[in-house]
Amino acid sequence: MGFAPDDTERLARARADLRMGVPVVVADMGIMLAAETLQPARLSLLHGMGAAVAITDWRAQTLKVAAYDGDVARIALPADADARWVTALANPADDLRSPMKGPLRALRTGDADLARAAVILCKSARLLPAAVIVPLEDTAAFATEHGLTMVDAAAIRKTEMSPLQGIVSARLPISVSEAGRLHVFRPDDGGEEHYAVEIGQPDRSNPVLARLHSACFTGDLLGSLKCDCGPQLRGALAQMGAEGHGVLLYLNQEGRGIGLANKMRAYALQDQGFDTVEANHRLGFHDDERDFRIGAAILKQMGFSAVRLLTNNPAKIARMEASGVSVVERVPLKVGENAHNHAYLATKAAKSGHLL
């Protein structure tokens, strides 16, 4: 390895650039700017270059525009469009107040791979899945001239999970068990760290009581009544403490993998009358953007091959099994229902298959 960054390192740079509003070049395709952080001065430079706005098919459904490319739609950028116009396409916050966004002209011809790459990269940066894109002939020269990060489309589309490195573990007595230990794992791609809370000294040759818990700032730390995350976290730890052993995986995949800011956007949409799944779709996301392979990888690194899984979500069981971790028992975890989250839990059961 030389001094130059590899594909993984360039992707980490690209995500940081997009969050700051800096354009990113996709090799042999074109340039992209995240809609959420779009700066008017940079947008003005793109007029006359054949720019379009890339959005997901879910967002296209909300805007009543045809997604001719299937999973994405490319909307031609009008000559007089400003940054607010682009933001309105990407962010559903004002959809009910201002439902008419058109006329919108969805592109039917041309390659949509730049649009797909742009949406994927925005998602991985925890931004709204929308971007301004412009095809370019000589992407390498453009990147060099303007000092921009250039990434390969194949690296963006790569679906293999980034390897995880165990960084450190230390004894951590907690309220449910003085025999606690915290393990920290860091992905090679520069993403968020993930944690494993080990209770006692579980026998690696037997199925361990385990839970895959996705981070929830509002529920875990603030005691939010809009979800059941906090009670599930504490209930799982209490059960492990009572049994004397267990592993709780705390995965930094806030808001079903869309990030805290987008989760708050979804909450604002729920206040407008949409359920949790509809809110995610209006933002342009799938029902659930999490990657449960992370949990399986951590368990295997810790020496576990079989679990008794504390969950109400069949998708977690399926993902564990597909990733080589045997689930010998599903242990229900039905806690935390209240007047504020009753409809939320009902939606998870009806639309996401949760066993509640």
| Known catalytic membership, residue 290 | yes
Lowest mean pLDDT: which of 165-169, 252-256, 338-342?
338-342
Contact yes or no for 196/250 (Cβ under 8 A): yes
Cα(239)–Cα(200) distance, rounded to whole angstroms? Answer: 12
- Give pairs for 320-323: CB < 8 Å, separation 24+: 320/212, 320/292, 320/295, 320/296, 323/292, 323/293, 323/296, 323/297
Mean pLDDT calculated for residue range 83-104:
87
Task: Give the pLDDT band of residue 284 (cuts 50, 70, 90).
Answer: very high
Mean pLDDT calculated for residue range 217-229:
95
Tokens describing residue 101: 């966004």
**What local confidence, expressed as pLDDT, does residue 336 receive?**
73
Cα(309)–Cα(332) distance, rounded to whole angstroms? Answer: 8
Mean pLDDT calculated for residue range 58-80:
95
The answer, yes or no, to whether residue 90 has pLDDT greater than 80, is: yes
| Known catalytic membership, residue 204 | no
Tokens describing residue 322: 């597909």
Q: Which helix (H) or strand (E) holds 28?
A: none
Instruction: Give the largest Cα separation in the chain, rounded.
Output: 66
What predicted TM-score, i.e. pTM, was given to this entire model?
Answer: 0.93
Mean pLDDT calculated for residue range 54-73:
96
Task: Give the pLDDT band of residue 96 (cuts 50, 70, 90).
Answer: confident
Cα(172)–Cα(184) distance, rounded to whole angstroms? Answer: 12
Which positions ≥6 away from 88 have C-beta within 8 Å?
94, 98, 101
Cα(284)–Cα(57) distance, rounded to whole angstroms? Answer: 7
Cα(70)–Cα(56) distance, rounded to whole angstroms? Answer: 9
Mean pLDDT calculated for residue range 301-324:
96
Contact yes or no for 122/284 (Cβ under 8 A): no
Residue in 17, 69, 275, 288 annotated catalytic: 288
Cα(213)–Cα(336) distance, rounded to whole angstroms? Answer: 15
Cα(325)–Cα(196) distance, rounded to whole angstroms? Answer: 16
Mean pLDDT calculated for residue range 96-103:
76
The answer, yes or no, to whether residue 351 has pLDDT greater than 90, is: no
The answer, yes or no, to whether residue 45 has pLDDT greater than 90, is: yes
Distances (CA, A) of 34 to 220, 266, 275, 290, 322: 30, 19, 26, 21, 34
Mean pLDDT calculated for residue range 97-110:
85
Asked whether the CA dihedral 57, 63, 68, 74 is positive or negative, the reply is: negative
Residue in 290, 291, 308, 330 annotated catalytic: 290
**What local confidence, expressed as pLDDT, does residue 100 receive?**
63
Q: Give me the chain's average pLDDT, please.
A: 95
Angle at 284 between CA 279 and CA 286, to 5 degrees: 75
The answer, yes or no, to whether residue 356 has pLDDT greater than 90, is: no
Question: Each residue of 149-195: pLDDT tens digit?
Answer: 999 999 999 999 999 999 999 999 999 999 999 999 999 999 999 99
Tokens describing residue 97: 């107040």
**What local confidence, expressed as pLDDT, does residue 43 receive?**
97
Beta-strand relationship, 24-26 and 150-151? parallel
Among 142, 145, 135, 136, CA closest to 109:
135
Among 310, 311, 315, 309, CA closest to 351:
315
Dihedral class, residue 336 (left if φ above 0, else alpha if ψ from -120 to 50, else beta): left
Q: Is the peptide bond before 103 cis (omega within 30 degrees of 0)?
A: yes
The answer, yes or no, to whether residue 253 has pLDDT greater than 70, is: yes
Among 231, 235, 239, 210, CA closest to 304:
210
Dihedral class, residue 223 (left if φ above 0, else alpha if ψ from -120 to 50, else beta): left
Cα(262)–Cα(264) distance, rounded to whole angstroms? Answer: 5
- Angle between helix axes 7-20 and 113-124 (nearest 10 degrees) is 80
Mean pLDDT calculated for residue range 32-49:
96
**What local confidence, expressed as pLDDT, does residue 176 receive?**
96
